[in-house]
Amino acid sequence: MSVCINFEIERLINFAVQNILIEPCDINYIRNHYLNLFNELTPQKYDIDETLLYPDSILENMYKYVISNKLNLGATEDVIKCKIMDVLIPRPSIVRSTFNLIHKNHDINLALQYFYNLSLASNYIKTTAIQKNQNWLTKTKYGDLEITINLSKPEKDPKEIAMAKLQPKSDYPSCLLCIENEGFAGDYNKPSRFTHRVIPLSLNGETWYFQFSPYAYYANHSIIFSSKHRDMKISSDTFKALFDFVDLVPHYIIGANADIPIVGGSILTHDHFQAGSHVFPMEKAKTHSEIVWNEAPNIKGYILDWPLSVIKLIGTKDDLLKLSVNILSKWVQYSDERVDIVNHTTERHNTLNPIVRKTEDDKYELYLILRNNRKNETYPDGIFHPHQQFHNIKKENIGLIEAMGLAILPGRLDNELEQIAMFLNYPDKVNDINKSHPLWHHKNFIKEVCRRYTPFKSDFLKKEVGQKFMQVLECSGVFKNDNNGTAAFKRFIAHTNGKIV
């Protein structure tokens, strides 16, 4: 079935007016832009009577038209679709002016809602793709963990992968977070950012930029990145910037990935934070014990009952800044070989994830997740990293989001779990899985779940995957939840001049 491009142009214009991307007086101007873009000489007007939340179906038809008519609109599907939407998106100066005007005349909530709606309507937030993700809760001894199988990021076409290898390497933009991405066309190696817009913020006396994440993992998932292309570094300046952000956006939580490999996030070369309006499982965790510091009598301190090693602090900004910098400096230099913690070999091994939320009584909750990235012969991927027996479920880094209890599991699991389910009623068939079988890496897991499976358990496999993720998080805890780990945690708290009570 051929695509009528004039019809799709009118659909997209109708969508743009409905979602306030353009005003009615812009219609002729926009139509002429699209006629030129698609090499059409004469418009055909249609009466469009539809309401769409997202423009995906229109963009898909337009993309098919571009391909079938061999129009040169870009290197990849992503670039072509973004180029089509770019016609409708206000320039950065207009977006920022509108945001600031709404903030000034109303409040930050309404300004963020404007920016979020723009990010949705422009297709920068890939809502339809995000809806493909599988999501569920798994009950564990630490509370409910949130599990996501990530199906939203599209896999590259083999032709695109081949073409990418032929492209000259470019250092522009320096990384996916740099401000130079705003309006960047994209190519086989880098995604299009035609529709990318950011909002400047002043944090700790420096310029940072706010954006929503294209592939959101939770409500209002946002990224705040430095105006400077500099490496991630957790320091006193980090804490100050985090506190400044929640003063500006008090209904968001914000945190930083660790600043060293293995325990860090995917981009260590650009200083950034992640934020949003979500309440994470870690925040709902029970407290394991209370901590007091004589030099910080007004701070309430706790060790959380959580698979990773987390210190929770509640207090005023000034008190928390002073204590958190002390804990960070002590942890960076801390070693306890009785529990495999060594602070430095040929590189630094200790760091932490700081997370801040502002409370209704104008105080702050500060979470410090202690991290260590050392390897040894037994654990060549990392002592406090997902251990090899769990790599069939998760072998990638445990970053900030997952450390707080939201699993982001690889998309391959979607199909693999369907195949595994076939073995549950035929456990004898597990022995047929050999090294050439696509489920070889799951063989031990399949044996294990077959022993426990009963047909009346609904979502059995999902629960089993959730339990494995819990164990993955336990691997990542520097002080284990046993007597030896508890004693080790107590020694570190004493090293910070604190006391567990």
Return per-residue pLDDT of the chain as tens, 501 residues: 689 999 999 999 999 999 999 999 999 999 999 999 999 988 888 999 999 989 999 999 999 999 999 999 998 999 999 999 999 999 999 999 999 999 999 999 999 999 999 999 999 999 988 999 999 999 999 999 999 999 986 655 556 555 555 667 778 999 999 999 999 998 878 889 999 999 999 999 999 999 999 999 999 999 999 999 999 999 999 999 999 999 999 999 999 999 999 997 778 999 999 999 999 999 999 999 999 999 999 999 999 999 999 999 999 999 999 999 999 999 999 999 999 999 999 999 999 999 999 998 889 999 999 999 999 999 999 999 999 999 999 999 999 999 999 999 999 999 999 999 999 888 899 999 999 999 999 999 999 999 888 776 778 999 999 999 999 999 999 999 999 999 999 999 999 999 999
Predicted local distance difference test score (pLDDT) of residue 249: 98
Look up the domain containing 52 and give its range: 5-129
The answer as to whether 140 is a domain residue is: no
Q: Which residues of 47-56 are buried (b: 16+ CB within 10 A; e: fewer)?
A: ebeeebebbe
Predicted local distance difference test score (pLDDT) of residue 269: 94
The answer as to whether 342 is a domain residue is: no
What's the DSSP call for residue 270? Answer: S
What's the DSSP call for residue 70? Answer: T
Q: What angle do CA 283, 287, 289 make, to 5 degrees?
A: 145
Helix axes 460-476, 412-421, angle to 10 degrees: 130
SS3 call for 336: strand
How many angstroms separate the CA atoms of 349 and 454, rounded? 44
Give the chain's domain count: 1
The answer as to whether 125 is a domain residue is: yes
The answer as to whether 361 is a domain residue is: no
The answer as to whether 56 is a domain residue is: yes
Predicted local distance difference test score (pLDDT) of residue 472: 97
Task: Specify the pTM.
Answer: 0.94
8 Å CB contact between 84 and 13: no
The answer as to whether 397 is a domain residue is: no
The answer as to whether 88 is a domain residue is: yes
8 Å CB contact between 480 and 405: no
The answer as to whether 84 is a domain residue is: yes
8 Å CB contact between 407 and 394: yes
Predicted local distance difference test score (pLDDT) of residue 455: 77
Predicted local distance difference test score (pLDDT) of residue 188: 78
Predicted local distance difference test score (pLDDT) of residue 45: 84
